[in-house]
Protein backbone atom coordinates (compact mmCIF):
# COMPACT_ATOMS: atom_id res chain seq x y z
CA UNK A 1 0.00 0.00 0.00
CA UNK A 2 1.73 3.18 -1.24
CA UNK A 3 0.50 6.45 0.23
CA UNK A 4 1.46 10.05 -0.33
CA UNK A 5 3.28 11.71 2.59
CA UNK A 6 1.00 12.89 5.39
CA UNK A 7 -0.16 16.49 5.37
CA UNK A 8 -2.56 18.25 7.71
CA UNK A 9 -6.17 18.80 6.70
CA UNK A 10 -6.67 22.49 5.84
CA UNK A 11 -9.06 24.62 7.89
CA UNK A 12 -12.16 26.07 6.27
CA UNK A 13 -12.11 29.77 5.37
CA UNK A 14 -15.58 30.91 6.44
CA UNK A 15 -14.97 34.40 5.08
CA UNK A 16 -15.71 32.87 1.68
CA UNK A 17 -19.47 33.12 1.07
CA UNK A 18 -19.73 29.60 -0.38
CA UNK A 19 -18.15 28.07 2.73
CA UNK A 20 -20.36 30.07 5.08
CA UNK A 21 -23.43 29.01 3.13
CA UNK A 22 -22.39 25.36 3.23
CA UNK A 23 -22.00 25.62 7.00
CA UNK A 24 -25.45 27.20 7.39
CA UNK A 25 -27.00 24.38 5.39
CA UNK A 26 -25.25 21.81 7.59
CA UNK A 27 -26.56 23.57 10.68
CA UNK A 28 -30.08 23.48 9.27
CA UNK A 29 -29.77 19.77 8.51
CA UNK A 30 -28.52 18.89 11.97
CA UNK A 31 -31.10 21.10 13.66
CA UNK A 32 -33.86 19.26 11.79
CA UNK A 33 -32.69 16.04 13.48
CA UNK A 34 -32.96 17.37 17.04
CA UNK A 35 -34.75 15.21 19.59
CA UNK A 36 -34.20 11.82 17.98
CA UNK A 37 -33.58 8.77 20.14
CA UNK A 38 -30.33 6.88 19.53
CA UNK A 39 -29.18 3.39 20.45
CA UNK A 40 -25.90 1.85 21.56
CA UNK A 41 -23.83 -0.37 19.29
CA UNK A 42 -22.71 -3.73 20.72
CA UNK A 43 -21.59 -6.77 18.70
CA UNK A 44 -22.77 -5.29 15.43
CA UNK A 45 -26.30 -4.47 16.69
CA UNK A 46 -27.98 -1.23 17.69
CA UNK A 47 -29.44 -1.89 21.13
CA UNK A 48 -31.44 -0.07 23.80
CA UNK A 49 -30.66 0.10 27.49
CA UNK A 50 -31.65 -3.09 29.30
CA UNK A 51 -33.16 -0.91 32.02
CA UNK A 52 -35.11 1.23 29.57
CA UNK A 53 -33.50 4.35 31.04
CA UNK A 54 -32.35 7.21 28.81
CA UNK A 55 -30.77 10.64 29.16
CA UNK A 56 -30.82 13.82 27.09
CA UNK A 57 -28.05 15.73 25.37
CA UNK A 58 -28.80 19.47 25.63
CA UNK A 59 -27.80 22.38 23.38
CA UNK A 60 -25.70 24.57 25.72
CA UNK A 61 -26.55 27.64 23.62
CA UNK A 62 -30.25 27.08 24.30
CA UNK A 63 -30.92 24.82 27.25
CA UNK A 64 -34.52 24.19 26.17
CA UNK A 65 -33.39 22.34 23.05
CA UNK A 66 -32.74 18.59 23.15
CA UNK A 67 -30.06 17.51 20.69
CA UNK A 68 -30.87 13.83 21.20
CA UNK A 69 -31.97 11.14 23.61
CA UNK A 70 -29.48 8.39 24.49
CA UNK A 71 -29.41 5.05 26.23
CA UNK A 72 -28.25 4.72 29.83
CA UNK A 73 -26.32 1.44 29.69
CA UNK A 74 -26.49 -1.00 32.57
CA UNK A 75 -23.36 -2.37 34.18
CA UNK A 76 -24.25 -5.73 32.64
CA UNK A 77 -24.28 -4.20 29.16
CA UNK A 78 -20.93 -2.53 29.80
CA UNK A 79 -19.49 -5.89 30.82
CA UNK A 80 -21.08 -7.51 27.77
CA UNK A 81 -19.38 -4.97 25.51
CA UNK A 82 -15.97 -5.90 26.92
CA UNK A 83 -16.72 -9.60 26.47
CA UNK A 84 -17.72 -8.93 22.87
CA UNK A 85 -14.51 -6.99 22.23
CA UNK A 86 -12.52 -9.84 23.78
CA UNK A 87 -14.21 -12.45 21.56
CA UNK A 88 -13.56 -10.49 18.37
CA UNK A 89 -9.96 -9.63 19.21
CA UNK A 90 -8.60 -12.95 17.95
CA UNK A 91 -10.15 -12.27 14.54
CA UNK A 92 -9.26 -8.58 14.29
CA UNK A 93 -5.63 -8.94 15.32
CA UNK A 94 -5.07 -11.28 12.34
CA UNK A 95 -6.38 -8.80 9.78
CA UNK A 96 -3.48 -7.41 7.79
CA UNK A 97 -2.32 -3.94 8.88
CA UNK A 98 -2.91 -2.75 5.32
CA UNK A 99 -6.59 -3.72 5.54
CA UNK A 100 -7.02 -2.02 8.90
CA UNK A 101 -5.34 1.11 7.56
CA UNK A 102 -7.58 1.07 4.51
CA UNK A 103 -10.68 1.29 6.72
CA UNK A 104 -9.26 4.37 8.42
CA UNK A 105 -8.47 5.97 5.08
CA UNK A 106 -12.02 5.35 3.87
CA UNK A 107 -13.30 6.89 7.10
CA UNK A 108 -11.10 9.94 6.52
CA UNK A 109 -12.57 10.46 3.08
CA UNK A 110 -16.14 10.07 4.36
CA UNK A 111 -15.49 12.56 7.15
CA UNK A 112 -13.91 14.98 4.73
CA UNK A 113 -17.06 14.92 2.60
CA UNK A 114 -19.21 15.58 5.70
CA UNK A 115 -16.90 18.05 7.39
CA UNK A 116 -19.52 20.75 7.91
CA UNK A 117 -22.10 18.27 9.14
CA UNK A 118 -19.75 16.97 11.85
CA UNK A 119 -18.91 20.58 12.71
CA UNK A 120 -22.60 21.40 13.04
CA UNK A 121 -23.12 18.56 15.51
CA UNK A 122 -20.37 20.03 17.69
CA UNK A 123 -21.72 23.56 17.37
CA UNK A 124 -25.04 22.38 18.77
CA UNK A 125 -23.96 19.67 21.21
CA UNK A 126 -20.97 21.30 22.93
CA UNK A 127 -21.19 24.98 21.92
CA UNK A 128 -18.17 25.35 19.63
CA UNK A 129 -18.21 28.24 17.18
CA UNK A 130 -17.63 27.49 13.51
CA UNK A 131 -13.84 27.75 13.48
CA UNK A 132 -13.40 25.74 16.69
CA UNK A 133 -15.67 22.98 15.36
CA UNK A 134 -13.99 22.97 11.97
CA UNK A 135 -10.58 22.62 13.63
CA UNK A 136 -11.91 19.69 15.64
CA UNK A 137 -13.01 17.86 12.48
CA UNK A 138 -9.75 18.64 10.70
CA UNK A 139 -7.82 17.13 13.60
CA UNK A 140 -9.97 14.00 13.52
CA UNK A 141 -9.25 13.59 9.80
CA UNK A 142 -5.56 14.08 10.52
CA UNK A 143 -5.61 11.25 13.06
CA UNK A 144 -7.25 8.91 10.56
CA UNK A 145 -4.72 9.76 7.87
CA UNK A 146 -1.63 9.89 10.09
CA UNK A 147 -2.23 6.75 12.13
CA UNK A 148 -2.94 4.78 8.96
CA UNK A 149 0.51 5.64 7.68
CA UNK A 150 2.08 5.05 11.09
CA UNK A 151 0.66 1.53 11.28
CA UNK A 152 2.16 0.68 7.92
CA UNK A 153 5.51 1.91 9.21
CA UNK A 154 5.30 -0.17 12.38
CA UNK A 155 4.27 -3.23 10.36
CA UNK A 156 7.60 -3.24 8.51
CA UNK A 157 10.44 -5.56 9.63
CA UNK A 158 12.26 -3.96 12.54
CA UNK A 159 16.07 -3.70 12.40
CA UNK A 160 18.19 -5.96 14.60
CA UNK A 161 21.87 -6.74 14.88
CA UNK A 162 22.57 -9.97 12.99
CA UNK A 163 24.49 -12.96 14.32
CA UNK A 164 25.62 -15.90 12.09
CA UNK A 165 23.81 -18.78 13.87
CA UNK A 166 20.24 -17.45 14.15
CA UNK A 167 17.46 -15.73 12.27
CA UNK A 168 15.98 -13.11 14.58
CA UNK A 169 12.80 -11.08 14.28
CA UNK A 170 11.32 -8.23 16.27
CA UNK A 171 7.75 -7.19 15.60
CA UNK A 172 4.75 -5.56 17.22
CA UNK A 173 1.47 -7.20 18.18
CA UNK A 174 -1.73 -5.68 19.61
CA UNK A 175 -2.76 -5.84 23.26
CA UNK A 176 -6.46 -6.78 23.36
CA UNK A 177 -9.71 -4.98 24.26
CA UNK A 178 -9.19 -1.25 24.77
CA UNK A 179 -11.67 0.92 26.68
CA UNK A 180 -11.70 4.44 25.21
CA UNK A 181 -13.07 7.23 27.43
CA UNK A 182 -12.84 10.57 25.59
CA UNK A 183 -13.81 14.06 26.82
CA UNK A 184 -16.69 16.27 25.71
CA UNK A 185 -14.55 19.29 24.81
CA UNK A 186 -12.95 17.68 21.74
CA UNK A 187 -15.79 15.24 21.14
CA UNK A 188 -14.65 14.20 17.67
CA UNK A 189 -10.89 14.80 17.47
CA UNK A 190 -9.75 13.19 20.72
CA UNK A 191 -12.40 10.47 20.47
CA UNK A 192 -11.25 9.65 16.94
CA UNK A 193 -7.57 9.75 17.78
CA UNK A 194 -7.72 7.36 20.72
CA UNK A 195 -10.24 5.02 19.07
CA UNK A 196 -8.56 4.61 15.70
CA UNK A 197 -5.10 4.32 17.25
CA UNK A 198 -6.43 1.28 19.09
CA UNK A 199 -8.21 -0.13 16.04
CA UNK A 200 -5.49 0.28 13.45
CA UNK A 201 -2.96 -1.46 15.69
CA UNK A 202 -5.24 -4.52 15.87
CA UNK A 203 -7.01 -3.96 19.17
CA UNK A 204 -10.77 -4.06 19.64
CA UNK A 205 -12.57 -1.14 21.30
CA UNK A 206 -15.32 -0.34 23.74
CA UNK A 207 -16.05 3.38 23.36
CA UNK A 208 -17.73 5.20 26.26
CA UNK A 209 -18.20 8.84 25.24
CA UNK A 210 -18.77 11.73 27.61
CA UNK A 211 -22.43 12.14 28.49
CA UNK A 212 -22.37 15.74 27.22
CA UNK A 213 -21.38 14.62 23.70
CA UNK A 214 -22.99 11.27 22.81
CA UNK A 215 -24.42 12.47 19.48
CA UNK A 216 -20.99 13.23 18.02
CA UNK A 217 -19.77 9.82 19.19
CA UNK A 218 -22.75 8.07 17.62
CA UNK A 219 -22.19 9.82 14.30
CA UNK A 220 -18.54 8.75 14.42
CA UNK A 221 -19.51 5.11 14.99
CA UNK A 222 -22.00 5.28 12.11
CA UNK A 223 -19.20 6.58 9.89
CA UNK A 224 -16.82 3.80 10.95
CA UNK A 225 -19.48 1.19 10.17
CA UNK A 226 -19.90 2.70 6.72
CA UNK A 227 -16.11 2.64 6.28
CA UNK A 228 -16.14 -1.11 6.89
CA UNK A 229 -15.27 -1.77 10.53
CA UNK A 230 -16.37 -5.36 11.27
CA UNK A 231 -19.06 -6.25 13.81
CA UNK A 232 -17.84 -6.54 17.39
CA UNK A 233 -14.56 -4.72 16.74
CA UNK A 234 -15.91 -1.30 17.70
CA UNK A 235 -18.61 -1.14 20.38
CA UNK A 236 -20.41 1.95 21.73
CA UNK A 237 -21.93 2.22 25.19
CA UNK A 238 -23.44 5.41 26.60
CA UNK A 239 -24.19 6.36 30.17
CA UNK A 240 -22.70 7.81 33.36
CA UNK A 241 -18.96 7.67 33.82
CA UNK A 242 -19.22 6.67 37.46
CA UNK A 243 -20.98 3.33 37.17
CA UNK A 244 -20.43 2.46 33.50
CA UNK A 245 -16.90 3.81 33.28
CA UNK A 246 -15.85 2.01 36.43
CA UNK A 247 -17.30 -1.28 35.18
CA UNK A 248 -15.37 -0.99 31.91
CA UNK A 249 -12.10 -0.12 33.65
CA UNK A 250 -12.44 -2.90 36.23
CA UNK A 251 -13.36 -5.69 33.82
CA UNK A 252 -10.65 -8.41 33.93
CA UNK A 253 -10.65 -8.71 30.13
CA UNK A 254 -10.00 -5.00 29.59
CA UNK A 255 -6.37 -4.87 28.49
CA UNK A 256 -5.92 -1.11 28.20
CA UNK A 257 -7.70 2.15 29.05
CA UNK A 258 -7.26 5.30 26.95
CA UNK A 259 -8.64 8.31 28.83
CA UNK A 260 -8.67 12.06 28.37
CA UNK A 261 -10.35 14.29 30.93
CA UNK A 262 -9.93 15.84 34.35
CA UNK A 263 -7.12 15.17 36.80
CA UNK A 264 -9.50 13.78 39.40
CA UNK A 265 -11.12 11.27 37.05
CA UNK A 266 -7.77 10.34 35.52
CA UNK A 267 -6.28 9.56 38.91
CA UNK A 268 -9.33 7.45 39.77
CA UNK A 269 -9.03 5.47 36.52
CA UNK A 270 -5.29 4.97 37.02
CA UNK A 271 -5.89 3.72 40.54
CA UNK A 272 -8.81 1.48 39.54
CA UNK A 273 -6.99 -0.05 36.59
CA UNK A 274 -3.96 -0.85 38.76
CA UNK A 275 -5.95 -3.27 40.94
CA UNK A 276 -5.80 -6.79 39.54
CA UNK A 277 -9.29 -8.31 39.34
CA UNK A 278 -10.15 -12.01 39.78
CA UNK A 279 -9.35 -13.81 36.53
CA UNK A 280 -7.19 -10.98 35.18
CA UNK A 281 -3.96 -12.26 33.60
CA UNK A 282 -2.24 -8.98 32.73
CA UNK A 283 -1.40 -5.58 34.14
CA UNK A 284 -3.60 -3.05 32.39
CA UNK A 285 -1.95 -0.32 30.40
CA UNK A 286 -3.36 3.19 30.92
CA UNK A 287 -3.10 6.40 28.94
CA UNK A 288 -4.37 9.23 31.14
CA UNK A 289 -4.24 12.65 29.58
CA UNK A 290 -5.53 15.06 32.18
CA UNK A 291 -5.78 18.75 32.95
CA UNK A 292 -3.63 21.82 32.79
CA UNK A 293 -3.05 25.20 34.39
CA UNK A 294 -1.31 26.63 31.39
CA UNK A 295 0.70 29.82 31.39
CA UNK A 296 1.84 32.41 28.88
CA UNK A 297 4.88 34.46 29.82
CA UNK A 298 5.11 38.01 28.47
CA UNK A 299 8.65 39.34 28.58
CA UNK A 300 9.58 43.03 28.37
CA UNK A 301 11.60 42.38 25.21
CA UNK A 302 8.55 42.10 22.95
CA UNK A 303 9.19 44.65 20.25
CA UNK A 304 7.07 44.00 17.18
CA UNK A 305 5.33 41.06 18.91
CA UNK A 306 3.17 43.29 21.14
CA UNK A 307 -0.06 43.10 19.14
CA UNK A 308 0.42 39.44 18.29
CA UNK A 309 0.92 38.62 21.97
CA UNK A 310 -2.39 40.28 22.89
CA UNK A 311 -4.20 38.29 20.19
CA UNK A 312 -2.54 35.10 21.43
CA UNK A 313 -3.69 35.79 24.99
CA UNK A 314 -7.29 36.24 23.87
CA UNK A 315 -7.22 33.15 21.67
CA UNK A 316 -5.61 31.05 24.38
CA UNK A 317 -7.84 32.19 27.22
CA UNK A 318 -11.22 32.54 25.49
CA UNK A 319 -11.12 30.19 22.50
CA UNK A 320 -13.96 27.72 23.14
CA UNK A 321 -14.63 29.63 26.37
CA UNK A 322 -11.39 28.38 27.94
CA UNK A 323 -12.69 24.81 27.91
CA UNK A 324 -9.47 23.21 26.72
CA UNK A 325 -6.83 21.42 28.76
CA UNK A 326 -4.36 23.56 26.80
CA UNK A 327 -6.21 26.84 27.45
CA UNK A 328 -4.37 29.84 28.86
CA UNK A 329 -5.42 30.40 32.47
CA UNK A 330 -2.31 32.12 33.91
CA UNK A 331 -0.89 35.21 32.24
CA UNK A 332 2.54 35.97 33.71
CA UNK A 333 3.84 39.43 32.82
CA UNK A 334 7.22 40.97 33.66
CA UNK A 335 6.66 43.94 35.98
CA UNK A 336 8.33 46.60 33.79
CA UNK A 337 5.49 46.30 31.24
CA UNK A 338 2.85 44.78 33.52
CA UNK A 339 0.35 47.63 33.76
CA UNK A 340 0.57 48.64 30.11
CA UNK A 341 0.22 45.10 28.77
CA UNK A 342 -2.55 44.07 31.15
CA UNK A 343 -4.54 47.20 30.33
CA UNK A 344 -4.24 46.36 26.62
CA UNK A 345 -5.47 42.79 27.24
CA UNK A 346 -8.44 44.06 29.29
CA UNK A 347 -9.40 46.51 26.56
CA UNK A 348 -9.18 43.84 23.85
CA UNK A 349 -11.08 41.22 25.89
CA UNK A 350 -13.84 43.70 26.71
CA UNK A 351 -14.73 43.78 23.01
CA UNK A 352 -15.41 40.04 22.78
CA UNK A 353 -19.09 39.29 22.19
CA UNK A 354 -20.89 36.40 23.85
CA UNK A 355 -23.72 34.50 22.18
CA UNK A 356 -25.04 31.30 20.56
CA UNK A 357 -22.47 29.06 18.92
CA UNK A 358 -24.60 28.51 15.82
CA UNK A 359 -24.55 32.28 15.24
CA UNK A 360 -20.75 32.06 15.37
CA UNK A 361 -20.03 34.41 18.25
CA UNK A 362 -16.37 34.52 19.31
CA UNK A 363 -17.38 33.40 22.82
CA UNK A 364 -20.20 30.89 23.24
CA UNK A 365 -21.65 28.94 26.17
CA UNK A 366 -19.89 26.69 28.63
CA UNK A 367 -20.99 23.08 28.53
CA UNK A 368 -23.71 22.83 31.21
CA UNK A 369 -25.21 24.26 34.39
CA UNK A 370 -22.78 22.33 36.59
CA UNK A 371 -19.91 24.02 34.76
CA UNK A 372 -21.54 27.42 35.31
CA UNK A 373 -21.80 26.76 39.04
CA UNK A 374 -18.18 25.62 39.26
CA UNK A 375 -16.86 28.59 37.29
CA UNK A 376 -18.94 31.11 39.23
CA UNK A 377 -17.72 29.56 42.49
CA UNK A 378 -14.14 30.12 41.38
CA UNK A 379 -14.97 33.69 40.39
CA UNK A 380 -16.25 34.31 43.91
CA UNK A 381 -13.05 32.78 45.30
CA UNK A 382 -11.03 34.99 42.95
CA UNK A 383 -12.64 38.15 44.29
CA UNK A 384 -10.89 37.46 47.56
CA UNK A 385 -7.57 36.58 45.95
CA UNK A 386 -7.03 39.13 43.16
CA UNK A 387 -8.61 42.20 41.62
CA UNK A 388 -11.57 41.57 39.30
CA UNK A 389 -11.08 43.88 36.32
CA UNK A 390 -13.37 42.34 33.70
CA UNK A 391 -16.45 40.15 33.59
CA UNK A 392 -17.16 37.97 36.57
CA UNK A 393 -20.83 37.38 35.84
CA UNK A 394 -23.21 35.42 33.65
CA UNK A 395 -24.04 36.81 30.23
CA UNK A 396 -27.53 37.14 28.80
CA UNK A 397 -29.20 34.33 26.88
CA UNK A 398 -31.06 31.09 27.41
CA UNK A 399 -27.85 29.13 27.62
CA UNK A 400 -24.84 28.61 29.84
CA UNK A 401 -23.10 31.92 29.18
CA UNK A 402 -20.35 33.54 31.26
CA UNK A 403 -18.62 36.78 30.34
CA UNK A 404 -14.86 36.72 29.66
CA UNK A 405 -13.30 37.33 33.06
CA UNK A 406 -9.93 38.71 34.14
CA UNK A 407 -8.35 38.93 37.59
CA UNK A 408 -5.13 40.92 37.93
CA UNK A 409 -2.58 41.06 40.75
CA UNK A 410 -3.21 37.39 41.53
CA UNK A 411 -0.76 35.72 43.93
CA UNK A 412 0.97 32.77 42.30
CA UNK A 413 -0.28 30.42 45.02
CA UNK A 414 -3.92 31.57 44.85
CA UNK A 415 -6.51 28.90 44.18
CA UNK A 416 -7.51 30.56 40.90
CA UNK A 417 -3.82 30.38 39.90
CA UNK A 418 -3.41 26.74 40.89
CA UNK A 419 -6.66 24.88 40.23
CA UNK A 420 -8.13 24.11 36.82
CA UNK A 421 -11.29 26.19 36.32
CA UNK A 422 -12.09 25.14 32.74
CA UNK A 423 -13.87 28.32 31.79
CA UNK A 424 -13.30 31.87 30.48
CA UNK A 425 -11.34 33.04 33.53
CA UNK A 426 -7.82 34.47 33.26
CA UNK A 427 -5.52 35.09 36.24
CA UNK A 428 -2.78 37.70 35.71
CA UNK A 429 0.40 37.38 37.77
CA UNK A 430 3.27 39.86 38.03
CA UNK A 431 6.86 38.57 37.71
CA UNK A 432 10.06 40.41 38.63
CA UNK A 433 11.83 39.31 35.44
CA UNK A 434 11.91 36.48 32.90
CA UNK A 435 13.64 34.04 35.28
CA UNK A 436 11.00 34.72 37.91
CA UNK A 437 8.28 34.24 35.30
CA UNK A 438 9.56 30.74 34.47
CA UNK A 439 9.71 29.90 38.17
CA UNK A 440 6.09 31.01 38.59
CA UNK A 441 5.00 29.12 35.47
CA UNK A 442 6.50 25.90 36.88
CA UNK A 443 4.87 26.42 40.28
CA UNK A 444 1.91 24.13 39.65
CA UNK A 445 1.15 20.42 39.77
CA UNK A 446 0.41 20.50 36.04
CA UNK A 447 2.73 20.60 33.02
CA UNK A 448 0.73 20.50 29.82
CA UNK A 449 1.22 23.55 27.60
CA UNK A 450 2.85 26.93 27.92
CA UNK A 451 4.06 29.77 25.79
CA UNK A 452 6.66 32.50 26.11
CA UNK A 453 6.82 35.78 24.24
CA UNK A 454 10.27 37.33 23.93
CA UNK A 455 12.73 38.36 21.22
CA UNK A 456 15.76 37.64 23.39
CA UNK A 457 17.54 34.47 22.13
CA UNK A 458 19.06 33.73 25.55
CA UNK A 459 15.64 33.85 27.18
CA UNK A 460 14.19 31.62 24.47
CA UNK A 461 16.94 29.10 25.17
CA UNK A 462 16.21 29.28 28.88
CA UNK A 463 12.50 28.69 28.30
CA UNK A 464 13.22 25.64 26.14
CA UNK A 465 15.40 24.19 28.88
CA UNK A 466 13.45 25.11 32.03
CA UNK A 467 9.77 25.73 31.22
CA UNK A 468 8.52 22.29 32.29
CA UNK A 469 5.61 21.49 30.00
CA UNK A 470 4.98 18.80 27.40
CA UNK A 471 4.13 21.35 24.72
CA UNK A 472 6.01 24.65 24.75
CA UNK A 473 5.29 27.37 22.21
CA UNK A 474 7.61 30.30 21.61
CA UNK A 475 6.05 33.54 20.37
CA UNK A 476 2.66 31.97 19.64
CA UNK A 477 -0.48 30.94 21.52
CA UNK A 478 -0.48 27.91 23.82
CA UNK A 479 -3.42 26.17 22.08
CA UNK A 480 -3.86 24.67 18.62
CA UNK A 481 -1.59 21.62 18.41
CA UNK A 482 -1.48 19.98 14.97
CA UNK A 483 -1.08 16.25 14.36
CA UNK A 484 2.57 15.32 13.60
CA UNK A 485 3.51 18.99 13.96
CA UNK A 486 3.05 19.36 17.73
CA UNK A 487 2.74 15.84 19.29
CA UNK A 488 0.55 16.53 22.30
CA UNK A 489 0.76 15.45 25.94
CA UNK A 490 1.86 16.79 29.29
CA UNK A 491 4.02 16.24 32.36
CA UNK A 492 3.31 15.86 36.06
CA UNK A 493 -0.43 15.82 36.87
CA UNK A 494 -1.25 16.63 33.26
CA UNK A 495 -0.97 12.92 32.62
CA UNK A 496 1.14 10.22 31.05
CA UNK A 497 2.55 12.39 28.24
CA UNK A 498 1.31 10.01 25.58
CA UNK A 499 2.05 12.51 22.78
CA UNK A 500 -1.06 12.06 20.68
CA UNK A 501 -0.39 12.74 17.03
CA UNK A 502 3.27 11.83 17.41
CA UNK A 503 5.37 9.10 15.84
CA UNK A 504 5.66 7.03 19.01
CA UNK A 505 1.96 7.15 19.95
CA UNK A 506 0.94 3.85 18.36
CA UNK A 507 3.58 2.05 20.42
CA UNK A 508 1.33 2.60 23.43
CA UNK A 509 -1.25 0.30 21.82
CA UNK A 510 1.29 -2.37 20.87
CA UNK A 511 3.63 -4.83 22.55
CA UNK A 512 6.91 -6.05 21.09
CA UNK A 513 7.68 -9.70 20.43
CA UNK A 514 11.19 -11.04 19.85
CA UNK A 515 11.56 -14.36 17.97
CA UNK A 516 14.84 -16.21 17.53
CA UNK A 517 15.23 -19.23 15.25
CA UNK A 518 18.52 -21.10 15.37
CA UNK A 519 19.50 -22.52 12.02
CA UNK A 520 23.16 -23.54 12.46
CA UNK A 521 23.87 -26.48 14.73
Active site residues: 289, 325
Distance of CA 55 to the CA centre of its chain: 23
Say what angle helices 214-227 and 189-200 make with each other, to 10 degrees.
Answer: 40
**CA distance linking residue 280 with residue 243, whole number of Å:** 20
**CA proximity to 475, closest of 464, 490, 485:** 464
Whether the Cβ atoms of residue 385 and residue 411 lie closer than 8 Å to each other: yes
Q: Can you name the residues that pair with 333 across neighbouring β-strands?
A: 298, 430
Report CA Rg, the chain.
23
Pairing mode of beta strands 491-492, 446-447: antiparallel
What's the rounded Cα separation, in Å, for the pair 22 and 84?
40
DSSP labels, 293-345 = -EEEEE-S--GGGHHHHHHHHHHHHHGGGG-STT-EEEEEEEGGGHHHHHHHH
- C-alpha 70/C-alpha 89 separation (Å) is 27
Half-sphere exposure of 4 (CA within 13 A, CB side): 3
- Strand, helix or coil for residue 183: coil
**What is the C-alpha separation between 66 and 387, in angstroms, rounded?**
38
Cα–Cα distances in angstroms (integers) from residue 207 to residues 90, 276, 366, 463, 478, in the given order = 19, 22, 24, 38, 29
Q: Do 202 and 229 contact (CB within 8 A), yes or no?
A: no
Amino acid sequence: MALTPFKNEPFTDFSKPENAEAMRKALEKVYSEFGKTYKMFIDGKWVESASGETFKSINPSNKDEVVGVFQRATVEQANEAVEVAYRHFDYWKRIAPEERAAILLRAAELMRRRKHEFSAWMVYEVGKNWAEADGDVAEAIDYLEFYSREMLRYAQPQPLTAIPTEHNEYFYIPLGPVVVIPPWNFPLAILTGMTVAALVTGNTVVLKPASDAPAVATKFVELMIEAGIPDGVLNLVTGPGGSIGDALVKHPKTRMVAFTGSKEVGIHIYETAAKVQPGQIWLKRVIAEMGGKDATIIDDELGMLWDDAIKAVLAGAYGFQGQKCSALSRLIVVESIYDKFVDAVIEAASKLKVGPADENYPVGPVINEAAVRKIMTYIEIGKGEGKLVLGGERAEGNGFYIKPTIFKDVPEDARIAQEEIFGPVLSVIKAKDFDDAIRIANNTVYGLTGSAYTLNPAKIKKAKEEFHVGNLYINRKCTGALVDVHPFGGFNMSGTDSKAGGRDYLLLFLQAKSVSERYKF
